[in-house]
Structure 1
Amino acid sequence: MQDTAMSRWLSPLMAFCLSFMVIVGLAPSLGLQLDRQIDFWLLWMGTMIFLALPIIYLEIALAKRSKTTALNALSSLTRDADASQQWRLVGWLSVVFIAFLAGGLLSNIANITSSYTQLPVQTNVLFVICAVIAVGLSFISRQILVLFTAIGVITSLILSNMFGTQVQAWQVTPIEFKEWGNATILALVASGLGLGLYWQTSLSVMSQQDAASKATLPIWIAQLIAVAAFGYFAVSAQIPAYTILITAIFAAALLLQLAKEQLKQRHVVLLIQFIVLLAGLFVWAIPQLTAVLNSILMLWGLIICLIYSIFVGWIMKISHLRKALNFSGEVFYNLWRIAVRIVLPLSIILAIVSYLGQLI
């Protein structure tokens, strides 16, 4: 009973912390600043409602049906759907991406910290030091990692506003196509959707709940709060730069632990586990690759969400997730299915096109 009660707050709190930290890490690569553009934030709100919310329901419904972590679950899910084993590849793409995301988070925030401090080490050396600490911390309790990450996020927000963050007035700017892509990345990739993170942290709660909404909505609301908090955050002095870096180490450790758990439940050999996790993490130590790796991170995250939406919307049988979702009315299930089958894939493809256009 105590584990179940703990899991009820663990997933929403983790959603807030990880969403906030990954957004802070991805923001410079997306060109997102504290400019408070009304048009962009309205686009973001639309993506949170029409894209992020359906895919959180997707994760929780798959958790309820499979009763195991994402990587391990795809074996049974593909068999139930009479689908090709190639669909299981998305699980491997996701678990490797989690380690890759942890590296990107640490690398980008280490760069931010270096620009506001006079540390006597190069940025890539700072990253390696932080990454080694994160690997060590990944072995401690998940509850402790979430708690310290939350403390770090709140502390960073307070110190950021104490040390001169200037919040500009809201303004309206012309809507551009690239804003749609950035809003989609903010809603899906930065929120860690499609990676099975909330899937695995909600497993112990699933047996206690009939409707998926009881687990889904707290996670979604926590992500809304995280992005709203980011709107009032910026590193503008040494002290908040240090606190956000320390917080990033705990967040990266949490991500590594979640990926490690998925590999362990899939009965992957311990040596292979460490090779997969350390390769995804330490590839970011090569400074010449940072820009390329950031682009890969954005596209990789979107592709994972795209594959899951196609698999669930078009490959799985129509009745498989109806009972797991347990909506109060058939109309809600039909709206969710339309979102997963049509709205999500088309929107993600447009976001990919938009982001590629920014790279060219």
Structure 2
Amino acid sequence: MYWLELAGETDAFAAREAATAATGVDLLAPGVARTGGVDRSGIRRLAYTRAAHEAVARTDADVDAAVAALRAASLDRSGTVAVRARDVRGTSGVSTEEAERELGGVLVDRGFDVDLDDPDHVLRALFSAGPRADHDAVAGADGGDADLCALGWVAVEAARDFAPNPTERPFFQPGSMAPADARAYANLAGAAPGRTLLDPMCGTGGLPLEAGLVGADAVACDAQAKMVRGARENFREYLGSEGSPEWHVARADATALPLPDDALDGVAFDAPYGRQSKIARHELADLVAGALAEAARVAPRAVLVADRDWRGPAREAGWTVDAAFERRVHRSLTRHVLVLRRGDASGNAGADRPDDPASPPDRE
């Protein structure tokens, strides 16, 4: 068993992304989840997980309780150690300095040598308290109160090897997505080595760029020639080295993709927002509906990001909604994220609910 140390402020979303690299993810407390097993290379690719820790003990968010739990735990390793404690989001009020001193003392008593600079093993102590996120598509996200100390040996840490911020890339346009968000959406759509992911509305190419950086082949399309040229420029800069995955950028209509059926493993796209409601020859609703239908034709999974809830058109296009999230970006923008699965693809259901006032989008 492992503890997952989540990143960001939206735990249900982070746990859902983590489930692309871990089995049976269960939210335990703010910023902390549990899993039965991890794909270490997959954990390294995640955007909203800091690390996975091999479980040693679990107790209350209290230093004395943590010390007692560590004394009673089986410690099946040798070599030098260090203790790193964290009060997750300041929720527990625990002194991390005291926790590290006391837990380190237990390890010394049990025969370990401490090396704070270059230890063979790092014991992570996560102290967390308060309400869990509330989301029906994520196990454990029930809104209940938590009071937890999770002790574990650091097993694998996320690389967080994102592309540079959009303003630092060769081609930039206002409104470009943050790299961590683009990475998470690519992961949720199935990006991984040996797979191919499409963004049919690629803009500057940030989302398929992150897919390429985790090892997937990237296919990107846009209706505007300027965006196609710019995305190619960005891809050459960051995916142009020897050994990089394959990538292709083309000018194309998202509602009439020049691809055969089932050509891809996943699709992810960020639909136009607000005042951009008339795009080329399409009205926004027709554009999104058409893009969803084409996505279902060419791939079994998709992630749609937009400024509104498109679950109705997604179902009409043949998708099952596995999860729906609302993610606040700033005062005037909340992103609606749909994790979609075609009927013939495996996946976790849970957010496939009607689009009516009695079933509002899930919030964190």
- The TM tier, using the shorter chain, reads under 0.3
Structure ID, larger Rg? 2
Q: If the length of structure 1 is used for normalisation, what is the TM-score?
A: 0.23
- Whichever structure has more helix as a proportion of its residues is 1
Query: Which of structures 1 and 2 has the larger relative contact order (alpha carbons within 8 angstroms, sep 6+)?
Result: 1
- Whichever structure has more strand as a proportion of its residues is 2
Q: If the length of structure 2 is used for normalisation, what is the TM-score?
A: 0.23
